[in-house]
């Protein structure tokens, strides 16, 4: 490879400058991020450092956006940008906190209540 | 041999508490209250992972008090938002977010509270009024809540009707005493909140998915 590693003057996660970025709408603090279990390869060379850090963090297992942000010491919004880039590139998967859309509010709170009582 | 890490490594990768399963149902409660009331203590008591925090940048609009031009000054503050995680039986994971209780953080509060099932408002009997601001914010957000009086060794004891009157609580809003350092006591506070949240939801009826 003869390409010189490029480093943006402004990191990718700041380059958006607060503008809305297509593809981030569905993300929230509890969006679950995970990599393919079969994805044992070295990080793709094209990944920039911040993207690579997120990808490496998630290689062993799944985390929510907010947990990834805390471990990487990045703002939640920045983590969302990075995650959206990686999902777009097919390097990560994201799923909503509540997997099945047909869950009702009531059934969710019932699960919470039953679960809490079981710990008591 | 381990691959050479590039860039700045994740802090202590071995300490990252990964989600055991990808298909869990994740839900959120907020623990709200004034500074020093025990939000982080309660979260730490219940959390299965070491409590984490994110740094949230907040643009505050200052008061144009001494400004002749009358232009509000803007300053950016960083607020640390603590959170923890508790896996419940039934493939369910509860996230608890501690949220700052000051009005000036309202946009941040709204952002964190979005999608939360409810709020546990903590209060301290030595300074009940410090919880008023956050109670207003919770109500404006339309989030069901319970108030837990966190007991400190030198907290005066008041009958609950006195506390309810001081806090101007709606008759259906649960009020309980708790010790945020104790697991069962903290769990009881969340159970009372969850029961109240359930009461605020319309009874199961026409939802086809609702189990019989």
> Which chain A residues in 82-111 lie under 8 Å from chain B, judged by CB atoms?
95, 97-99, 102-111
**How far, in Å, are B76, B83, B112 from residue B61 at the CA level?**
9, 26, 19
- Sign of the Cα pseudo-torsion (A29, B61, B106, B32, in order): positive
Tens of pLDDT, residues A26-43? 899 999 999 987 656 677
Q: Count of domains in chain A?
A: 1
Chain B residue numbers touching A30 (CB-CB < 8 A): 26-28, 95, 115
In a domain, A4, yes or no: no
Q: Are B172 and B196 in contact (CB under 8 A)?
A: yes
CB contact under 8 A, B13 and A99: no
DSSP lists the bridge partners of residue B75 as: B60
Q: What is the mean pLDDT of residues A63-89?
A: 95
Q: What is the pLDDT of residue A100?
A: 65
- Residue A32 belongs to domain spanning: 12-119
In this complex, which of A60, A98, A120 lies closest to B18 when CB atoms are compared? A60
pLDDT beyond 90 at B75: no
Beta strands in chain A (DSSP E): 32-34, 63-64, 93-95
In a domain, A67, yes or no: yes
Cα B146 to Cα B122: distance, rounded to the nearest angstrom: 9
CB contact under 8 A, A57 and B10: yes
In a domain, A1, yes or no: no
Cβ count near B182 (within 10 Å) = 14
| B194 at A interface, C-beta within 8 A | yes
Given the cut 0.85, state whether the ipTM is greater than it. Answer: no
The CA dihedral of A106, A112, A115, A116, to the nearest 10 degrees, is -130
Which of A8-17, A95-104, B35-44 is most confident? B35-44
* Domain range summary for chain B, segments of one domain joined by +: 23-60+74-200
> What architecture is domain B23-60+74-200?
3-Layer(aba) Sandwich (3.40)
- Domain of A49, CATH number, reads 1.10.10
Tens of pLDDT, residues B128-187? 999 999 999 999 999 999 999 998 888 888 899 999 999 999 999 999 999 999 999 999
Q: What is the mean pLDDT of residues B71-77?
A: 63
In a domain, A6, yes or no: no
Q: Are B5 and A50 in contact (CB under 8 A)?
A: no
């Amino acid at each position: 490879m003869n390409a010189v590693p490029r480093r943006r003057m402004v990191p990718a996660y700041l380059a958006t400058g607060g503008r809305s970025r297509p593809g981030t709408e569905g993300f929230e603090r509890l969006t679950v991020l995970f990599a393919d279990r079969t994805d044992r390869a070295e990080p793709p060379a094209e990944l920039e450092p911040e993207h690579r850090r997120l990808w490496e963090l998630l290689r062993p297992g799944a985390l929510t956006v907010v947990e990834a942000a805390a471990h990487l010491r990045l703002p939640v919004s920045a983590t969302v940008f990075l995650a959206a880039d990686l999902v777009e590139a097919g390097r990560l998967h994201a799923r909503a906190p509540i997997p099945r859309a047909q869950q009702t509010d009531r059934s969710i709170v019932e699960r919470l209540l039953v679960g809490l009582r079981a710990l008591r | 041999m381990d691959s050479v890490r590039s860039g700045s490594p994740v802090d202590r990768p071995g300490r990252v508490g990964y989600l055991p399963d990808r298909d869990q149902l994740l839900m959120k409660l907020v623990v709200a209250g004034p500074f020093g009331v025990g939000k982080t203590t309660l979260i730490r008591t219940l959390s299965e992972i070491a409590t984490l925090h994110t740094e949230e940048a907040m643009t505050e609009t200052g008061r144009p008090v001494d400004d002749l031009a009358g232009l509000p000054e803007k300053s950016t503050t960083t607020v640390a938002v603590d959170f923890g995680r508790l896996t419940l039986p039934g493939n369910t994971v509860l996230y608890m977010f501690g949220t700052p209780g000051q009005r000036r953080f309202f946009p941040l509060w709204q952002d964190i509270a979005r999608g939360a099932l409810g709020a546990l408002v903590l209060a301290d009997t030595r300074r009940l009024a410090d919880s008023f601001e956050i109670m207003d914010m919770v109500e404006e957000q339309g989030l069901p809540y319970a108030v837990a009086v966190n007991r400190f060794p030198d907290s005066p004891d008041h009958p609950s009707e006195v506390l309810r009157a001081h806090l101007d609580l709606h008759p259906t809003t649960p009020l309980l005493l708790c010790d945020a350092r104790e697991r069962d006591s903290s769990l009881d506070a969340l159970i009372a909140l969850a029961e109240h949240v359930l009461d605020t939801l319309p009874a199961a009826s026409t939802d086809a998915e609702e189990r019989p």
